[in-house]
A = this chain, B = another copy of it.
Amino acid sequence: MARTKDPAIRELLIERAAHMLRAREPITLRSVVAETGVSTMAVYTYFGGMDGLWRAMRQEGFTRLAARLATVGETADPVRDLAALGAAYVGNAGAHPDLYRIMFDAGFDLEDPAAADESLHHLVRAVERARAAGRFRADVVATDLATQTWIAGHGLASLVTGGPLPAEAFGYGIPLLTALFTSAGDSAERCRRSVEAGWF
């Protein structure tokens, strides 16, 4: 038919835009393509416009988050795993603060919403394992507790990456998760040890 798109260019533009975001440089149509050899039209060919580029960067953020959550293995202590997932979540936000910030900026929708849900499912499964292991009460609704864990993790990540709280505030994750999991039925002392073992 005709010429085919070069995936390398798409990757190059996302990479460059993400780098400029990290360097706090203004991300404009012309500044992104500058010194890349490609013209401004490439942004429209590959992303349909600047909105599409931002969408792709958000997707990139969720992809990295999913990759990091995937590195958290399953041990014999599901509560530790749950805390480790929370630590991985805020750790990812701390490692890529600019990427994390745009992930939750409203106005754009994701290319692949399922990828975002997938991340929450990691938490849900860990809660279910903890409940099955007798650490949580039988009446604990897995999605509810997982969502509450997410809320705490996001509040922490958002306030630290946003500036109001210093990086040391990441430590609040331990008492927050301990309170949450203890409230779900885990014994206080055992919960504290598990959370501390999983956190960072």
Contact = CB atoms under 8 A, between A and B. Distances in A.
A182 B183 CA distance: 8
Interface of A: 101, 104-106, 116, 144, 147-148, 150-156, 158-159, 161-165, 169, 172, 175-176, 178-180, 182-184
Contacts of A156: 151, 155
Given A154-B158, A155-B154, A156-B151, A144 B176 contact: no
A173 B198 CA distance: 25
A172 B144 contact: yes
Given A155-B155, A158-B104, A162-B106, A169 B147 contact: yes
Nearest 6 A-B pairs (CB), nearest first?
Answer: A155-B155, A179-B183, A151-B155, A179-B179, A154-B155, A179-B180
A163 B102 CA distance: 13
Given A106-B101, A183-B178, A172 B148 contact: yes
A4 B47 CA distance: 50
B147 A172 contact: yes
A163 B172 CA distance: 25
